[in-house]
A and B are shown apart, each in its own frame.
Chain A
Amino acid sequence: DAGITQSPRHKVTETGTPVTLRCHQTENHRYMYWYRQDPGHGLRLIHYSYGVKDTDKGEVSDGYSVSRSKTEDFLLTLESATSSQTSVYFCAIRRTSGPGGNEQFFGPGTRLTVL
């Protein structure tokens, strides 16, 4: 499982409230990603990070911000949650060593409901 944990695993919140999701890894991987998963859309990239304090936008970044102050933690923040952000959120790391060097490994996910 590449040592990835996500917290919380489930959250229910109200429209307009801020929400922060945490991804923690134990293997010092440089690349980390946040995806959302919705029926009919598969997994869509929100933001990614290629090092401490180095982040960039994915295809569905509006309404989301990220921070990475330590290698092991990648935070996803919804500044003011909306119902359209109800989704399952997955964090992933990319393993750059070994025979492949491209594989992404996913965390267990966080189910977020915005009422």
Chain B
Amino acid sequence: GENVEQHPSTLSVQEGDSAVIKCTYSDSASNYFPWYKQELGKGPQLIIDIRSNVGEKKDQRIAVTLNKTAKHFSLHITETQPEDSAVYFCAAQGGYQKVTFGTGTKLQVIP
């Protein structure tokens, strides 16, 4: 089955700096890659996603890149703000709707 690895597990940045979280996947059939943000005590919330026919997607301060050949994708957050502090999960989806999640990155933005 699919295996998704996510790094780093924790990340601290100064407010205003950029944050990058990286994931790799194993199944070349995976074709959809969502990113989720989870705040304390809440369920994960979809923040951005990318499909395998696209190399990059941007939404305001967040962007995701995908390298299908290398089987890795990354989340980029620019101009970080304290409210960006949360746990972020990457995921890969391939056959029959099954989504495999990474183990999460705890992002701390220091004011």
Instruction: Report yes or no: A42 in contact with B104, Cβ–Cβ below 8 A.
Output: yes
Task: Name which residue of chain B comes closest to A58, CB basis.
Answer: B98
State the CA gap A48–B98 with chains docked (Å).
9
Residues of A within 8 A of B (CB): 31, 33, 40-45, 48, 50, 58-59, 90, 92, 94, 100, 102-109
In the assembled complex, which residues on chain A have CB atoms less than 8 Å from the CB atom of B61? none
Decide if the interface of chain A is mainly helix, strand, loop or mixed: strand
Interface size class of B (residues with CB under 8 A): 20 to 34
Please measure, in the bound complex, the distance between the C-alpha atom of A106 and the C-alpha atom of B99, giving whole angstroms: 13
A61 to chain B, nearest CB (A): 12
Residues of B with Cβ closer than 8 Å to A?
1, 6, 32, 34, 36, 41-46, 49, 89, 93, 97-104
A residues less than 8 Å from B97 (CB atoms) = 31, 48, 50, 94
A-B contact pairs, 11 of them (CB 8 A): A42-B89, A42-B103, A43-B101, A44-B101, A59-B1, A94-B97, A106-B36, A106-B43, A106-B45, A108-B42, A109-B43
Q: Are A104 and B43 in contact, CB atoms less than 8 angstroms apart?
A: no
